[in-house]
Chain A
Amino acid sequence: MNYPDTPAHQLAARVQEKPDLLDQMPGDYAVLCSKSQNLQIFISFEPQAIFQEVSTIKQRLLAGKSLPLAGATVALGDNFCTAGLVTTCASRMLSSYEPPLTARAVDALRVQGSVIIGKANMEEFGLGSTGNSSHYGAAKNPWDPDRTAGCGAAAAAATLVSLALGTDSCGEARQAASYCGVLALKPSYGRISRRGVIEYAPSLTQPGLMARNTRDLVLALEATAGEDPGDPTSLKLLVPGYFSRVHEGRKGKGPLKVALLEDWDAVPTLETEVREAFQAQLDDLPKAGLEVEAVSLPSFQESSLAAAVISAVEAFSNLANYDGVRFGYRAEGPSLQEMYTATRTSGFSSKLKQFITFGALVSSEKYYTSYFVKSQKMRTRIARELESCLEEYDLVLTPTVPFTAPRLERPRVAWQLPDPAHFFTAAANLSGLPALTFPLLSPSGLPVGLQFIARFGDEAALLKAALLLEKKNPLQFPQPGFKDQGGCGR
């Protein structure tokens, strides 16, 4: 059995039957990861920890436990807390920080039998997906090591793991998946607990799930979704059985009705590669059983601006606990004030500092009403518009990112506000609606994403659409090439 290539749902079935199959995993990973250092996909990777996790799962299987994700390998964005394992947020600020607790979503995956392979490299504190702000150097794209990879998705694309978790605050997990050619799901706000997730914008963030096929995504969602009394924004809605929902027929409802964002191709930053791949898929959608109509959503184009203001204000406050007093990195200073300044000056990257400064500015008395309040109103308008569109349609359809993975040596879009990568993705964060990106390939063979947004709580519609597309588009991954490029280690 080729361990990393096997989809998680198939693997789980086999491992459940024959727990001994797990024995080869730690060894496989030691080899895989030593071969893939150059991609800088992982910040921490500890074969010892993998060995430990695997033996625990084996014992549980041998004791007769049924584990739907038995042996499923997971890469965690390094902003998911893991007790006993350094959690850096790809920042100097937390370069040696060991959290006392593990994120609830991670515990949920472990309960179902999955193995945490390592902590994935990402943008510092999960902010954006197009830059190079990691304290450990940028993660490289397995399709083209000169391009960015965003968070976690690279590990899944390079078939180092079956599943990856990354935060999605303005679309980061979906963007990473789009750059790397895998699926990503951002659930409805509150669907997955944020406890133990280090985030910069609490009102926008959901853990994003990434996988190479829809069935694995369904399993990951079933494992992690659910109410958490420890998260005050956790959804009290019942979690549907996604697996059966996705597979049940439409029962006379006809094909899925899809609203295509009108003028999607008028976005200034749209690359030809994306336009062509997306257009080709559009033409194929009716054959896959999706009925598409163009719909005008005039406020949608404001979403990346509103998200920039709101997320910057929240980040300014949410990252204020990194002050060098209780944990993490501290630079010395002769007074408390000077210690703060020194710590935050040398602990954060310049991108993050600019962002926080912007947040402090737009929340100051002078700009509060004209920027922050205005953005919140814009947010409400964007949400209302999407919700009313979704009363008539099952899904809203857009490209995921206007461009393919940006080149690392020229991060031309890294410092812009609003971030052009958020153009299509931020609306789902602002409205709290669930969204999914499905991987396409451009004519020149680069990954591109197609995004669906669904009604609040209706992740099943997204997964169903993904399954329909998957039937028509056998997914491809760059596994042959990557092994010479490398992938792990700090």
Chain B
Amino acid sequence: MNELETVVGLEVHVELLTQTKLFCGCSAAFGAEPNTQVCAVCLGLPGETLPRLNQQALEFAIKAALALNCSIAGEVSFDRKNYFYADLPKGYQISQFFQPIGTRGYVEIQSAGEIKPIGIHQLHLEEDTGKLLHVGDILSSPFSRVDFNRAGVPLIEIVSEPDLRSAEEARLFLQKLRSILRYLDVSDCKMEEGSMRCDANVSVRPRGSSALGKKTELKNMNSFRSVYKGIEYEVQRQSRLLQEGGEVLPETRHWDEGAELTRAMRSKFLSANYRCFPDPNLPPLLTSRERLNALQEAIPELPDARLERFVREYSLPRYDAEILTATRELADFYENTLAVFPVPKAVSNWTMGELLGLLNEAGQEIGTCKITPTDLGELLKMVQEEMISRNMGKAVLEEMFASGEKPGVIVEKKGLVQISDEGALAEIIARVIDQNPKSVEDYRGGKKKAVGFLVGQVMKETRGKANPQLVNEMLKKQLEV
């Protein structure tokens, strides 16, 4: 049998960060007490199902479609997708079936050192469903509760072309998507909170074949890691099946995070007939050229463009630029720090090495960090001007991270200012020379390394505050007299 090739397409649902729901005035915030963010409209009460389109959600969706290089539909129309489920209040979901807002776009990923475009089949706007709450798992739960806070929250669904050739590419695509949407400020894309959800269509085929193999639809992957692992597992499973002469069944499979394997949900696709038809309550809305232009202009510099600019403008290594532009917040932080302390590589080193280290350790993100770009810039200035040593600087940064105090305040409070005053050091140096005749003898006898011990003694006397460079010079001068 020929070598097999992996073919993956993703369907990604992303909740938009609007204040209110897609068709009513209820708050769309995450995490409230169940059923406290509901009204007659999003509960689908009789006579109250008339939707009012949230213009902010529409603009977010258009911005996302533009940023993903999609063509924008000339009119915005909505359709009803009809099915019964307890989390679907109206018995239909308002979605865009016939005319998605965006089509034929692409996203570029870096795969094996190459830039590779991944096609976006479509992007459409729709409302989210409520959430079922079970006691334990769904099958053994004696009853279920429904929380409708999420019902009606705006979602965009992004469907990729089957252009992804590995689990790794799928992960890279998803990360790129998250990065772009976060730059746009249209979603926080938190997979663990469900504001980004991903299903994968996975198949394998003989390399060189252009026909698609039988695919399975993979669900329930709740992190980037599980997307990677789930696809990886599924590819192995399908390849083994084919190599053993078996056949892949077209089915929906659940990724079981604990057992690290996928399980069939149903024996075969239930042919879903959603009986979609245009929603009679939402007449099509024209998207004017002016509105599109205004939205296009409101799109900020996106991660790829910013990365290139960082490399070009600040002469940063590509690696640094990639990390610094991964989120808009971090890139903004970096550039705001540069405004105070314009030494790109130094700021990059401190940001990537020290600051990200502290954030990772604390499980925090830059957005919640107590250190401001101005404060970091001030700190780096002190280090550069040798007011404090590099090591002191790290200690001060930790303190800033914990308390949010300004570096100047911390340095003063702890008496950390470096002693660079020759007068103040001379006395200590004289004492150290007196107390260590052996080392002095060694030095004068040609063991030049002995000076290091003496410098260490001075540092110890000054509790590390002496400027080591200066101590070194002064000691040598004394010893060579």
Contact = CB atoms under 8 A, between A and B. Distances in A.
A77 B283 CA distance: 27
Contact of A336 (B51, B80, B86, B89): B86
Contacts of B46: 81, 87, 89, 94, 97, 99, 198, 321-322, 327-328
A197 B50 CA distance: 10
A344 to B, nearest CB: 9
B346 interface: no
B283 A233 contact: yes
Interface in A133-151: none
A318 B282 CA distance: 14
Contacts of B283: 232-233
B92 A320 contact: yes
B449 interface: no
A326 interface: yes
Contact of B52 (A203, A232, A321, A360): A232
Interface in A350-375: 360, 363-365, 368, 372
A320 B50 contact: no
B146 interface: yes
A229 interface: yes
Nearest to A198: B47
Contacts of A80: 47
B456 interface: no
Contact of A314 (B84, B146, B280): B280
Nearest to A344: B84
A321 B148 CA distance: 14
A230 interface: yes
B278 to A, nearest CB: 9
Given A232-B53, A323-B84, A325-B86, A81 B48 contact: yes
B44 interface: yes
B140 interface: no
A81 B47 contact: yes
B47 A197 contact: yes
B281 A233 contact: yes
B73 interface: no
Nearest to A318: B49
**Chain B interface size range:** 20 to 34
B277 A372 contact: yes
A401 B80 CA distance: 33
Given A317-B92, A320-B91, A363-B275, A103 B47 contact: yes
Nearest to B146: A325
Interface string B51-95: 111000000000000000000000000001010111001111000
A100 B40 contact: yes
Contacts of B144: 336
Contacts of B273: 364-365
Nearest to A327: B45
B47 A196 contact: yes
A231 B50 contact: yes
A313 interface: yes
Given A232-B283, A313-B277, A363-B275, A320 B47 contact: no
B43 interface: yes
B281 A232 contact: yes
A151 to B, nearest CB: 15
Contacts of B281: 202, 232-233
A82 to B, nearest CB: 10
Contacts of A364: 273, 275
Contact of B44 (A99, A201, A326): A326
Nearest to B91: A320
Interface in B262-311: 273, 275, 277, 280-283
Contacts of B53: 232
Interface in B26-56: 40, 43-53
Nearest to A193: B50
Interface string A369-388: 00010000000000000000
A110 interface: no
B84 A320 contact: yes
Given A202-B281, A313-B277, A340 B84 contact: yes
B47 A323 contact: no
A94 B51 CA distance: 22
A93 B141 CA distance: 28
A438 B145 CA distance: 53
Contacts of B146: 325
Given A89-B46, A321-B49, A232 B82 contact: no
A233 B281 CA distance: 6
Contacts of B40: 99-101
Contacts of B86: 323, 325, 336
A195 interface: yes
B47 A317 contact: no
Interface in A62-104: 79-81, 87, 89, 94, 97, 99-101, 103
Contacts of B43: 326
B44 A195 contact: no
A452 interface: no
Contacts of B90: 320-321
A340 B399 CA distance: 61
Q: Which of B46, B84, B273, B275 has the most CB of A within 10 A?
A: B46
Contacts of A89: 46
Contacts of A233: 280-281, 283
A186 interface: no
Nearest to B271: A365
Contacts of B82: 316-317, 320, 363
A229 B277 contact: no
A478 B91 CA distance: 44
A317 B277 contact: yes
Contacts of A340: 84
A194 B50 contact: yes
Given A101-B40, A320-B90, A323-B91, A203 B280 contact: yes
Contacts of A327: 45-46
A198 B280 CA distance: 14
Interface string A201-227: 111000000000000000000000000
B275 A232 contact: no
Q: Which of A230, A325, A336, A368 has the most CB of B within 10 A?
A: A325
Contacts of A87: 46-47
A101 B48 contact: yes
A66 to B, nearest CB: 31
A230 B52 contact: yes
Given A230-B50, A321-B91, A363 B280 contact: no
Contacts of A318: 49
Interface in A298-339: 313-314, 316-323, 325-328, 336-337
A99 B39 CA distance: 12
A338 B80 CA distance: 24
B44 A321 contact: yes
Contacts of A229: 52
A28 B55 CA distance: 51
Interface string A50-65: 0000000000000000
A360 B275 contact: yes
B272 to A, nearest CB: 10
Given A99-B47, A321-B91, A323-B91, 17 more contacts: A79-B47, A81-B47, A94-B46, A99-B46, A103-B47, A202-B281, A232-B51, A232-B282, A314-B280, A316-B275, A321-B46, A321-B89, A326-B43, A360-B275, A363-B275, A368-B275, A372-B277
25 contacts: A79-B47, A80-B47, A89-B46, A99-B40, A99-B47, A101-B40, A101-B48, A196-B48, A198-B47, A229-B52, A232-B50, A232-B282, A233-B280, A317-B82, A317-B275, A318-B49, A319-B91, A320-B90, A320-B91, A321-B44, A325-B86, A327-B46, A336-B85, A363-B277, A368-B277
A-B complex: 5 closest residue pairs judged by Cβ atoms: A320-B91, A203-B280, A198-B47, A321-B44, A363-B275
Interface of A: 79-81, 87, 89, 94, 97, 99-101, 103, 194-199, 201-203, 229-233, 313-314, 316-323, 325-328, 336-337, 340, 360, 363-365, 368, 372
